[in-house]
């Protein structure tokens, strides 16, 4: 499960495993707009995740 947190609120995406970069492409999300957390730890786009991992894609934006 991937949680996408951003301006649109919270979305839960049912994707159990794969690479972060592949998930971004599938979800049509820009890699430069998100920080990826795997089990609470920042990871890069080439990281993989599995069914036991908690993935969060956290949108980064300025308030100004």
List, for residues 1-57, the tens digit of each pLDDT value: 899 999 889 999 999 999 999 999 999 998 889 999 999 999 999 999 999 999 999
Residue 60 lies in a domain: no
- pLDDT for 63 beyond 80: no
Total number of domains constituting the chain = 1
Residue 64 lies in a domain: no
Residue 36 lies in a domain: yes
Domain that holds residue 28: 2-53
Please report the DSSP string for 4-62 in residue order.
EEETTEEEEE---SEEHHHHHHHHT--GGGEEEEETTEEE-TT-EE-TT--EEEEE---
Residue 40 lies in a domain: yes
What is the rounded average pLDDT of the residues 54-63? 90
- pLDDT for 64 beyond 80: no
């Amino acid at each position: 499960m991937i949680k996408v947190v951003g301006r649109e609120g919270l979305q839960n995406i049912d994707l159990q495993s794969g690479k972060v970069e592949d998930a971004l492409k599938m979800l049509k999300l820009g890699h430069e707009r998100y920080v990826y957390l795997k089990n609470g730890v920042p990871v890069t786009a080439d990281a993989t995740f599995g069914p036991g991992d908690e993935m969060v894609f956290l949108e980064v934006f300025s308030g100004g």
